[in-house]
Structure 1
């Protein structure tokens, strides 16, 4: 990985430890050197679709990072919001924004220290993407949401195709309902560069 964190370094991640190291170095400048500088809007897309589909709090923001999605949720009246992320450094930045009721470090791949059916909803923006988290982690997100709860999360479109998300959703059919898949831009129309036209597929469903 490059000494200077960037999107290419994030897409090159291979292990949870790689993620911890990268985001520890990127945390303090992530909002400015990446989100603002690149016209990143995916968190707003996820929050808007969560609200559009009737999502309510309390919500768990999975892969909360520096709090971008949490801020978008609270701006649309969704509260309370808790956040979890593999990077304590990213969560430290999120904690300065006064958005979250609670923040805690967690690895979605190993399981979260949360009781079953704790939340009325869950969101995730930018976590299910190349080099990060694959479809098997959906089980843990579903576990912590109550029956009848709304889950809305983004999946990088290329990652969706390459990592078997369609097959995973087919397996989950007995446990979910009202699944919608909405393709949205990750960046604003003004963004330039190799990833400027990247697409995410936002999956939204209700837990049975």
Structure 2
């Protein structure tokens, strides 16, 4: 990947796990202000609100692609839940850990096997990980493996990425393993977003493990 100033377009252009690590190492310390605040990034809050709607506990909760911890920051019941943060970027996880929101942080690549036990988590959440340049639908198999029976999933998937990477086909293939599948289309950004991405949409996909 050529040298890129950290930006949304640079993130969408990522091709390899090492590209991800490099970009987010440069972005971690300024991500909350230079991206999330300036772009009025609403997706983490919406994922957290839907989790509060559909999940009564108990945890623990796995925050997938946790980044700097924006989903956990917006969890209304975070004080009553154990939450683990998983991300490919050690630098982003360091920022997340500094906020005191997580039981532990887990540096891992979602494009391969996870070094986690079967059936551990009562909920799995994610905002901004299933998007261009990041993770495709095959990662769902590992996430289902580490979730226990009845676990709640609330995952945001970029709407364009959903179509281009075959998420609809993947969810059809998982029909015998999940229940209550629904997709809620939402705006990723608010009024402060730049014109190039103001209309970007995501599917917030909600289901339980059978």
Pairwise TM-score range, normalised by the shorter structure: over 0.9
**Distance in structure 2 (CA, Å) of the matches to 1:139 and 1:105:** 18
Q: Which residue of 1 aligns with 2:112?
A: 110
Q: Aligned residues, how many? A: 208
Residues 52 and 76, structure 2, Cα contact 8 Å, conserved in 1 = no
The equivalences for 1:49-128 within 5 A come to: 49-56=50-57, 57-74=59-76, 79-128=81-130
Q: Which residue of 2 aligns with 1:155?
A: 157
The CA deviation string for residues 119-166 of structure 1, in whole angstroms up to 9 with x for no partner, is: 101001100001100010111111111001101100000000111000
**Distance in structure 2 (CA, Å) of the matches to 1:113 and 1:77:** 26
Residues 156 and 205, structure 2, Cα contact 8 Å, conserved in 1 = yes
The 10-residue stretch of structure 1 (127-136 or 47-56) with the greater mean CA deviation from structure 2: 47-56
Where do 5+ consecutive residues of structure 2 fail to align? none
Residues 64 and 125, structure 2, Cα contact 8 Å, conserved in 1 = yes
The CA deviation string for residues 75-122 of structure 1, in whole angstroms up to 9 with x for no partner, is: 565511111100000000001101001111011111211100001010
TM-score (structure 1 length as normaliser) = 0.96
Where do 5+ consecutive residues of structure 1 fail to align? none
1:43 aligns with 2:44: yes
Query: What RMSD in Å do the two structures reach over aligned CA positions?
Result: 1.3
Task: Tell me the SS of whatever aligns to 2:31.
Answer: helix
**Distance in structure 1 (CA, Å) of the matches to 2:35 and 2:56:** 28
1:199 aligns with 2:178: no
